[in-house]
Structure 1
Amino acid sequence: MGAIAFVFTGSVLIGIPIAFVLGLSALYYFLFVGRVPMDMIGQKLYSGTDNFVLLAIPFFILAGDLMNRAKITDALVGFAKLLVGRIPGALAQVTVVCSIFFAGITGAGVADVAALGSVLIPAMKKEGYTAEYAAAITVAGSVIGPIIPPSIIMVVYSMTTGESVGALFAAGFVPGLAIGLALMIMSVYFAIKNGHPRRTEKIPFNEAAVTVRKSLIALMCPVVLVGGILSGRFTPTEAAAIACGYAMLAGVVLLRTLTFRDVVECFQRAAVSSAVILLIIAMAGLFSQVLALEYFPRTVAGWILGFTQNKYVYLMLVNILLLFMGMIMETAASVILLAPILLPIAIQLGIHPLHFALVMLVNLNIGLITPPVGVCLFAAAPIAKVSIEKMSKAAMPFICAELVALMIITYVPELILIVPRMMGFIR
């Protein structure tokens, strides 16, 4: 394992994309270390993506892009302004609330940054917010996207561990809202400290009614999507396909903001983005086979259980590990590699598997906004026209707020389990 670790670490340090890091490390093992047939490589690459539930990934990506192109984002922003526009730091609050609403449509953090950032970052700069602050609150809010259902990374976790997608979706509501609340509290603090503007006048009833009516098209998508999955009406893959149909119906027929060219471009981008994610999943599956052949999960379990058998200490160690992994590795790869190792230990220590799943996913999603591999930082930088360094520094207070929320859901498991229990997924 020492040589494989050297190849893996060296590849990461020189900046090779994570999919090829995993592939190169596995190839080195098969060529020089393991005495296994080479045709296993093709078999594992294929079997790693041969799962019906993974079809949801391209559909969710396509649905989010169609919604963005249809300018449904604008309707959500107007509705959010109506709700929280009079709270100190109004546009920062609007950004967080829009992230919560948009999370019910896309299920991906980068999509949230691209959609909301292009609208709200320029608006915040125009009202006197610094560019780095506007970018920081936008990327911090993007963490909510993969936590509140639907969620692409939850689909990957379900594929990896066999956990019910519906149960994962139900468990994501409270953690997502907890992070949103933490960010809103932090935004109020900065608004009072820096004198950020807010709306003081009341919105006339007629204007408010028009805003609500326009936003219903956007708000109905997550209701149909998540409601259908949680009620058992359709599978996550079917729900993702329905979301694409709904997005095209809304954009082409109802709002008339989508053209044929827009739809074609959305399909093209969804194909490329899906290929990237599925390549990572395939390579991670191959590398996880190397770990299994070397009995790495059993070794790690022995180390951890030899160090502690206290579940609270274990959860703290897992949080520290995952925060580090989120900084250096893509989320889907971390889930595929680490979940089969860490989950059995958690179950052995008496931690509910659904509780552990959300702790793991929330933790890794915070990695979306932590350098050096925070992909949401790279998505927001060109929109805000600010350096990664300045944006990362401005995001630190919001990351701390999210870590506080993470600690609360880590040590108060009922916050995660209450909704799945109410919906009958667990007893």
Structure 2
Amino acid sequence: MSAVLVIVGILALLLLRVPIAFAILGPCLAYMAVGGQSTGLSLRTAAQEVNSFPLLAVPLFILLGVVANHTGIADRLFAFARLLLGRVRGGLGYVNIGVSVGFSWISGTALADVAGMGKMIVPAMTKAGYPRRFSLGLTAATSLISPIMPPSIPAIVYASVAAVSTAALFAAAVVPALLVAGGLTLAVYLWTRDKPELSGERAGRGELAGAALRALGPLGAPALLLGGILSGLFTPTEAAAVGVAYVLVLGLCYRRLTPRALWRIGVETVTTAASIAVILAASGLLGWVLAREQVPQRVASFLLGLTDHPAVLLLLVSAVLILIGTVLEPIAALVITVPVLLPVAVQLGIDPVHFGVVTIICLMIGLLTPPIGGVLFVLGSATRTPMHEVFRGTAPFLVPLVAVLLLLILTPDLVLFLPGLLDL
């Protein structure tokens, strides 16, 4: 009953628009005060949650994405992709997906991706004759590639909570991220196949060569980051530091790193990293409360009473996680749900890496659905569009995303193939 009251209190505060970290902290601190627990224990429990070496990569990857946004890397990728695919029917739709795939190797978060891409791609697609809802929906959906494709900040958090290899989780996420991109590509093809008016003009060879040359530097970042991690040359944390140095050099070469830009980069990075750290700390305290009330054991007993089939369990868990993702920020949701659900999955023989990829995709789909819908809010703000309009455009693209999720649940080898090949 105590755990139920804590959860009800958290939900009530979230409905009142209290920031997530404080909505979690308040009921947990009240629980500990009523139970006679010391304030010192609360602080130690919260601090332990962020005292983790793998989590050091989080602020570095945030810095990497922020620097990439401010140095015009996405602009260069967009210009190259637009010239390359402009003549293809529905070319800007494919450009939207391609730029998100390219930028995902640097960004690591959906919100950073959609904030940067929304201002650039949605107006370009609308001007070219694409319906605004289609442009908004596709941009929102493609932003989910970033937190799935390595370097993924949710993957780093999951690896820390679940005590699995970050490199293995990064490798496992590559194929699912490409499948998401492929599913969205198919959706664009089906929608544009009878719309010849959405074909652009062929670019000249010189113009295309110039754009390719300008995109060469940004395209080197993925090879450096993922190649270094998967080859064992860098740990994810070291790769983040190397990646930051690389994009800073690019920024200097592009003459985009002015003192004013560096100040904005620092403020944005510190603000984002600090908010994630506070959420992690608060979620760690909630995890302690749930463990003390034996919630994981009760959930395990309930789920195992429903089924002992791994795929059926993953389907049930996926439905729950998508619902949780609609109201909770993904980082908080990971720290709260993984300690409860992962032991049940392992008990039925589900690989923790496979479970991690499925969990991340479920929570990312939650970002596209009200009432919270973080991606919807950010995209609506960036494009000055009401949230309900963004969601109406996004809703059709949930179909390929859910289809990919079902494929990954039913075919674990798609997730585990690459880590096994690389012996991670």
C-alpha separation in 2, matches of 1:114 and 1:71: 13
C-alpha separation in 2, matches of 1:378 and 1:9: 19
Matched residue, 1:78: 79
C-alpha separation in 1, matches of 2:51 and 2:365: 28
Cα displacement string for residues 180-237 of structure 1 (whole angstroms, at most 9, x for unaligned residues): 1111111122223566612253x33333222221111001011101111111112211
**1:228 is the counterpart of 2:234:** no
Range with bigger deviation, 54-63 or 153-162: 54-63
**1:66 is the counterpart of 2:67:** yes
TM-fit CA distance, 1:153: 0.7
Contact 1:132/1:390 (8 A) holds in 2: yes
Matched residue, 1:244: 244
Q: What secondary structure does 1:329 align onto?
A: coil
Contact 1:132/1:384 (8 A) holds in 2: no
User: How well do the aligned residues superpose, as a CA RMSD in angstroms?
Assistant: 1.5
Matched residue, 1:5: 7
TM-fit CA distance, 1:403: 0.5
Contact 1:323/1:367 (8 A) holds in 2: yes
**1:213 is the counterpart of 2:218:** no
Cα displacement string for residues 337-392 of structure 1 (whole angstroms, at most 9, x for unaligned residues): 11111111111111122111111111111122211111111111133222100110
C-alpha separation in 2, matches of 1:54 and 1:267: 19
Q: Aligned match of 1:24 in 23, 26, 31?
A: 26
Residue type of the alignment partner of 2:159 = S
TM-fit CA distance, 1:35: 4.2
Matched residue, 1:391: 390
Identity percentage of aligned residues: 35
C-alpha separation in 2, matches of 1:356 and 1:84: 36
C-alpha separation in 2, matches of 1:83 and 1:298: 54
Task: Name stretches of at least 5 consecutive residues in structure 2 with no aligned partner.
Answer: none
Task: Name stretches of at least 5 consecutive residues in structure 1 with no aligned partner.
Answer: none
Residue type of the alignment partner of 2:335 = I
Residue type of the alignment partner of 2:209 = A
C-alpha separation in 1, matches of 2:135 and 2:204: 28
Contact 1:80/1:98 (8 A) holds in 2: yes
Contact 1:104/1:222 (8 A) holds in 2: yes
Residue type of the alignment partner of 2:380 = A
Range with bigger deviation, 8-17 or 116-125: 8-17
Range with bigger deviation, 229-238 or 3-12: 3-12
Contact 2:162/2:352 (8 A) holds in 1: no
Q: 1:193 to 1:36 in 2, by over 3 A?
A: farther
Q: What secondary structure does 2:198 align onto?
A: coil
C-alpha separation in 2, matches of 1:278 and 1:184: 35
Matches within 5 A, 1:305-384: 305-384=304-383
Contact 1:85/1:93 (8 A) holds in 2: no
Matched residue, 2:278: 279
Matched residue, 1:54: 55
Q: 1:329 to 1:164 in 2, by over 3 A?
A: same
Range with bigger deviation, 110-119 or 5-14: 5-14
TM norm structure 1: 0.95
Contact 2:162/2:338 (8 A) holds in 1: yes
Cα displacement string for residues 399-426 of structure 1 (whole angstroms, at most 9, x for unaligned residues): 111011111111111111111111111x
Q: 1:298 to 1:268 in 2, by over 3 A?
A: same
Contact 1:113/1:379 (8 A) holds in 2: yes
Contact 1:112/1:142 (8 A) holds in 2: yes
Q: 1:371 to 1:418 in 2, by over 3 A?
A: same
Range with bigger deviation, 176-185 or 256-265: 256-265
Q: What secondary structure does 1:133 align onto?
A: helix
Residue type of the alignment partner of 1:29 = Y
Q: What secondary structure does 1:369 align onto?
A: coil
Q: What secondary structure does 1:146 align onto?
A: helix
TM-fit CA distance, 1:15: 2.0
C-alpha separation in 1, matches of 2:163 and 2:112: 26
Cα displacement string for residues 230-267 of structure 1 (whole angstroms, at most 9, x for unaligned residues): 11112211211211111110011x22222122112101
Matched residue, 2:114: 113
C-alpha separation in 2, matches of 1:83 and 1:418: 31
Range with bigger deviation, 158-167 or 239-248: 239-248
Matched residue, 1:123: 124
C-alpha separation in 1, matches of 2:270 and 2:7: 32
C-alpha separation in 1, matches of 2:36 and 2:294: 14
Residue type of the alignment partner of 2:325 = G
Matched residue, 2:137: 136
